[in-house]
Chain A
Amino acid sequence: MELSVAMCGLLCLLFSQAVPMCVPTDYTLYEERRECDFCVAINTTICMGFCYSRDSNMKELAGPRFLIQRGCTYDQVEYRTVILPGCPLHANPLFTYPVALSCHCGTCNTDSDECAHKASSGDGARCSKPLRQIYPYPGLNNYIPPN
Chain B
Amino acid sequence: MCVLKSTGVSLILSVLLFIADSYPNSDKTNMGCEECTLKPNTIFPNIMQCTGCCFSRAYPTPLRSKQTMLVPKNITSEATCCVAKEGERVTTKDGFPVTNHTECHCSTCYYHKS
Residues of A within 8 A of B (CB): 3, 7, 10-11, 14-22, 27, 29-33, 44, 46-61, 64, 67-74, 77, 79, 95-98, 100, 103-110, 112-120
A14 and B20 contact, CB distance less than 8 A: yes
Residues of B within 8 A of A (CB): 9, 12-13, 16-17, 19-20, 23, 27, 30-33, 36, 41, 44, 47, 49-63, 65, 69, 73-84, 96-101, 104, 107-114
Q: Which residues of B contact A10 (CB under 8 A)?
A: 13, 16
Q: Which residues of B contact A31 (CB under 8 A)?
A: 62-63
> What is the chain B residue whose CB lies nearest that of A118?
B108
With the chains together, A52 CA to B41 CA distance in Å?
16
B77 and A115 contact, CB distance less than 8 A: yes
Q: Which residues of A contact B59 (CB under 8 A)?
A: 27, 29, 46-48
With the chains together, A16 CA to B58 CA distance in Å?
24
Q: Which residues of A contact B78 (CB under 8 A)?
A: 71, 116, 118-120
Q: Which residues of B contact A7 (CB under 8 A)?
A: 9, 12
A57 and B41 contact, CB distance less than 8 A: yes
B56 and A49 contact, CB distance less than 8 A: yes
